[in-house]
Structure 1
Amino acid sequence: MAGKPERGLDELYRDDPERADAVVFGRRGALKGASLAAMGAAVGAAIPFADRMPSGLVPAALAQGAQGPKMFTFEGKEAMIDLGQRPLVLEAPETLLDDEVTPASKFFIRNNGTPPEPPSDPKAWRIRIDGEVNTPLELTVGELETRFPLVTYQLQMECGGNGRGFFVPETRGNQWGNGAISNGSWTGVRLADVLRAAGLKESAKHVAGYGADIHLSGDPNRVVISRATPIEKCLEPHTLIALRLNGEPIPHIHGAPVRTIVPGWPGSLSQKWLTRLWVRDREHDGPGMGGTSYRVPVTPIVPGSRDDGRTFRDIHSMWVRSVLTNVANGARFPAGTREIPVRGAAWAGEETVSAVHVSVDFGATWTAMEVKPPANKYAWQRWSGKVTLPSDGYFEIWYRATDSRGRMQPHAAANWNPQGYGANPISRAAILVG
């Protein structure tokens, strides 16, 4: 009886990457002869830099399988990567992030519960500031606009789990790529101005946000998420109570009519549908605080192990990361193409981006890109340049950013943790020429 035929490499890489690596690279860890031919057939072209390909590398062309990500179009949005419907979670493909200022239609969506009903009169929406203050305040949106100076900044907002899908083994939570990021032009009042108007007590340590969204259980008494920001970050002048996005009312799905923006830190601190700011004299204990929630190990733990997070620290500044916004993974170019312009964005939480480098020979050599300064603190930075190719064939564009403290995106996601925070490895896009 004839044996079952071996699966093709594209199927193997999709279904059993370890088996595929063994078939292709063998014991010697190099692509030669039949293995090189098999890999070329799997990716659809010759591989000019095959001799520089790291042993065991899963080609970017095969990493997602033939179907690619599942897409979904929400009202008012471009088609996005569907990571979940309950709650709604949509990721922006990197090529949607090609604008210097992110349009509302291209913002990622990360909900934790069900959005509340839109208010009939947004100006009458109220927020309360209480706790460790001398004069508790209750202010309408209209009063916020008239009582405090309005400021406008470009501000990065990034989900704390951005990049989670790069961890091995897989962690809990939405399997984000790099697209849980936005750089909107936010208009609002400084949170510091409002807190000072309430008269902060010396005991004020953290400020917890509460929103009007509804718990997925439907229980009106259960809080969906309530996280707290250290008072020092709350008093930083770019931390806002936001009222407008890109000069327009904030879209309801993004927290209208009022929300906080805590730039450069996990997006879960930027409370949507804001109703209350509770100034506390201690670390907050609301949903989304403590344990392994938005926290990472101080010292590495064994990947895949269980941990209660007692030795973890809260995430403050987000990690350095970059996106390639004008060339999609799987892009094809005409035969004879020898030069390709590339551009994108990079950001680094509290830091700035000092450099972006690109490689087309599997990281053997790197080319520096031009990096523009940020429009203001906490805005992302645009980068651009070109790559040169020696021939037709299969290539991968690898791209990495370095922050102002010299920290570079690593080759693989580091500091594994149960909820998958901080995965910011070098990214890559497969292209075919000819």
Structure 2
Amino acid sequence: MKFMWHRLICKNRINLRLLDNICRSASLCAQNNKHETSSPHRLFLGASIATLLAYKLYDYKKNLAFAEQEASDTKAGVAREGLPYYSLQDVSQHCNKDTRIWVTYKEGVYDITDFVEGHPGGDQILLAAGSSVEPFWMLYAVHNNPHVWEILETLRIGNVTKEDAGKLTENMSDPYSTDPKRHPVLHPASVKPFNAETPPFLLVQQFITPNELFYVRNHLPVPKVDPETYELEIEIEGKNKTLSLTLDELKKLPRHTITATIMCAGNRRSEMTKVKPVKGLSWGAAAVGNATWTGVRLRDVLALAGVDEDAAFKHVQFEGLDFDPTGKTYGASIPFWKAASKRGDVILAFEMNGVPIPRDHGFPVRVIVPGTVGARNVKWLARIIVSEKESDSHWQQNDYKGFSPSTDWDTVDFTKSPAIQELPVISAICQPSEGQTVQTDDGHILVKGYAWSGGGQKIVRVDVTLDEGDTWHVANLDHQDTAEPPQHWSWTLWSARIPVKPGTKTVQIWAKAVDSCYNTQPESFKNIWNLRGVLSNAYHRVTVKLQ
């Protein structure tokens, strides 16, 4: 395999000072827990070193990761009067439940022992035990928000001594500094990692979303991949042989092109938060896009590896080249039948809208799983595993799942809900926008939007109302792919010219879609609320002023 640790270490500068600090913390932790077996000590040290190596695989600029947080927050991690001071050596002695688990953030010292089990990211938080959380928060920038800082401060037990403050993170580099440049029109939901959507009114200007305006969903830094050395590995569970394909070899296989919409599970989450706060990026209605994808059928690649659609496997796992501080890559899986079926239309795409896939969207190869939530369309594809088991990645097991409105973070059990695959029917009003002043034309207003349904279903109708459902107007389906269900992967662009009563100053526009299985959208978010804010497909509502 060409993406081995020793090659990456050789190609990237390692911050020896930070390595020394992490190793010292691991060593002190081991020395202070001699009654335990040596294996956990080795694991802790190994995880610490792997954490640094994974983090320092990038040759980046000076640390900028917390610039935005520092500008907007003056309390989290700032030294507080009346609390004791601890040295980094003191902190390093508290790295397991027996000694209590302490971490540092800036000048603060925190006891997170009782929080570990409830941490949404699982036990990965333990990698910071006895040390600083800042290297990890640079990669998981979702932590850099007031809600997380507020929780952190409730765990505060002291301050780092002035002599030691900052030592663990000095000279630290920014893992996002080599991310690609983005079009300035994109509206970020987060900067590190970069996640952004285009203004909704631009979405409905054309059926195919331009690459530069396609929404961006990244969980980790964007890897820089050399197409000349790129290899895709295909592993079949139970067999010792692994098939490897270079990019050139992949491109020699029969090509297949599909037009498919990809949508983030959290699209329109910002509307759900109006019912009750949720955890996740505050997406509007434009975390979605439609593109033409060209590549090779996954089923053809599986056939090369000796697997046909009648095989008894249950899942196909995907791993990307983007990875977290522990070296774990982003991963997901889909049902085997979807991967192996000709009707599934799953492709390993190397082109997007007729050109090589841009870095933000998975260069050089991205798996496109049409009709399925964006999280399963793994970018920077490195490895395919045909297996009896689902992917064990965090994003498959502990995220992107739906729950009852009554489930909260104290009662949630991620093992009780299946991973989201096909998405439900949805629509959105893209023009006019919320709060806009609209000029009536001969007593009418023009409304435009998109509608889409997962699972290859086709939109058969979009209904629009200005009077809370007393009267509905059927929209025109202006742009729609000719493919028939269940292989209709693209969205539908629609418009409606709706009459308004004379003298009306303000109206609230509602829209709902119906797909070819006669599934339709729920009326409100109240009864579909869930703690992660996913599957936000209630009627879309936009309030506008008239003149």
Q: CA deviation at 1:267?
A: 0.8
Counterpart for residue 139 of structure 1: 245
Q: Is the 8 A contact 1:87 1:114 kept in 2?
A: yes
Q: CA deviation at 1:290?
A: 2.0
SS in 2 for 1:325: strand
SS in 2 for 1:210: strand
* Matched residue type, 2:321: A
Residue correspondence of structure 1 range 160-175 to structure 2 within 5 A: 160-167=265-272, 168-175=275-282
Q: Which moved more, 1:225-234 or 1:370-379?
A: 370-379
User: Structure 1's 177 and 336: CA in aligned 2 closer, same or farther, altered over 3 A?
Assistant: closer
Percentage identity across paired residues of the two chains: 30
2:196 equivalent among 90, 93, 112:
90
Counterpart for residue 50 of structure 1: none
Q: Is the 8 A contact 1:133 1:199 kept in 2?
A: no
Residue correspondence of structure 1 range 237-316 to structure 2 within 5 A: 237=342, 238-291=345-398, 293-297=399-403, 301-302=406-407, 306-316=411-421
* Matched residue type, 2:511: Y
Cα RMSD after superposing both structures: 2.2
SS in 1 for 2:517: coil
| Structure-2-length-normalised TM-score | 0.61
- Measured in 2, the distance between the counterparts of 1:169 and 1:224 equals 32
Q: Is the 8 A contact 2:480 2:490 kept in 1?
A: no
Counterpart for residue 500 of structure 2: 389
Q: CA deviation at 1:108?
A: 0.7
User: Is the counterpart of residue 338 in structure 1 residue 443 in structure 2?
Assistant: yes
Q: Which moved more, 1:223-232 or 1:160-169?
A: 160-169
Q: Is the 8 A contact 1:169 1:304 kept in 2?
A: no
SS in 1 for 2:322: coil
User: Is the counterpart of residue 429 in structure 1 residue 539 in structure 2?
Assistant: no
Larger Rg over CA atoms: 2
Q: Is the 8 A contact 1:132 1:203 kept in 2?
A: no
For each residue in 1:347-393, what CA deviation from the matched residue of structure 2 results, as whole angstroms up to 9, or x when unmatched? 11012222101111233221011235434321112222211112241
User: Is the counterpart of residue 320 in structure 1 residue 425 in structure 2?
Assistant: yes
Q: Is the 8 A contact 2:438 2:445 kept in 1?
A: no
1:400 equivalent among 512, 516, 522:
512
User: Structure 1's 335 and 205: CA in aligned 2 closer, same or farther, altered over 3 A?
Assistant: closer
Q: Is the 8 A contact 1:355 1:403 kept in 2?
A: yes
For each residue in 1:319-339, what CA deviation from the matched residue of structure 2 results, as whole angstroms up to 9, or x when unmatched? 111122332222223366522
Counterpart for residue 40 of structure 1: none
Residue correspondence of structure 1 range 117-156 to structure 2 within 5 A: 117-119=224-226, 122=227, 124-132=229-237, 136-146=242-252, 148-156=253-261
Aligned length: 352
What are structure 2's unaligned runs of at least 5 residues? 1-179
* Matched residue type, 1:426: Y
User: Structure 1's 404 and 133: CA in aligned 2 closer, same or farther, altered over 3 A?
Assistant: farther
Counterpart for residue 340 of structure 2: 235
Q: CA deviation at 1:93?
A: 2.5
Counterpart for residue 172 of structure 2: none
* Matched residue type, 1:427: H
- Measured in 2, the distance between the counterparts of 1:308 and 1:338 equals 53
Q: Which moved more, 1:352-361 or 1:322-331?
A: 322-331
- Measured in 2, the distance between the counterparts of 1:204 and 1:93 equals 42
Q: Is the 8 A contact 1:78 1:105 kept in 2?
A: no
User: Structure 1's 387 and 289: CA in aligned 2 closer, same or farther, altered over 3 A?
Assistant: same
2:221 equivalent among 89, 97, 114:
114
- Measured in 2, the distance between the counterparts of 1:334 and 1:380 equals 28
- Measured in 1, the distance between the counterparts of 2:379 and 2:348 equals 10
Residue correspondence of structure 1 range 410-429 to structure 2 within 5 A: 410-413=522-525, 414-429=527-542
* Matched residue type, 2:281: N
SS in 1 for 2:251: helix
Counterpart for residue 186 of structure 1: 293
SS in 1 for 2:431: coil
Q: Is the 8 A contact 2:429 2:449 kept in 1?
A: yes
2:321 equivalent among 208, 212, 230:
212
Q: Is the 8 A contact 2:317 2:390 kept in 1?
A: no
Q: CA deviation at 1:288?
A: 1.3
- Measured in 2, the distance between the counterparts of 1:129 and 1:276 equals 6
Counterpart for residue 366 of structure 1: 472
* Matched residue type, 1:431: V
- Measured in 2, the distance between the counterparts of 1:354 and 1:368 equals 10
Q: Is the 8 A contact 1:358 1:369 kept in 2?
A: yes
User: Structure 1's 95 and 78: CA in aligned 2 closer, same or farther, altered over 3 A?
Assistant: farther
User: Is the counterpart of residue 349 in structure 1 residue 454 in structure 2?
Assistant: yes
What are structure 1's unaligned runs of at least 5 residues? 1-73
Q: CA deviation at 1:78?
A: 4.9
Q: Is the 8 A contact 1:190 1:241 kept in 2?
A: yes
- Measured in 1, the distance between the counterparts of 2:464 and 2:249 equals 49
Q: Is the 8 A contact 1:166 1:425 kept in 2?
A: no
* Matched residue type, 1:256: F
Runs of 4+ with deviation above 4 angstroms: 302-305
| Greater RCO (Cα-Cα under 8 Å, separation 6 or more) | 1
* Matched residue type, 2:294: T
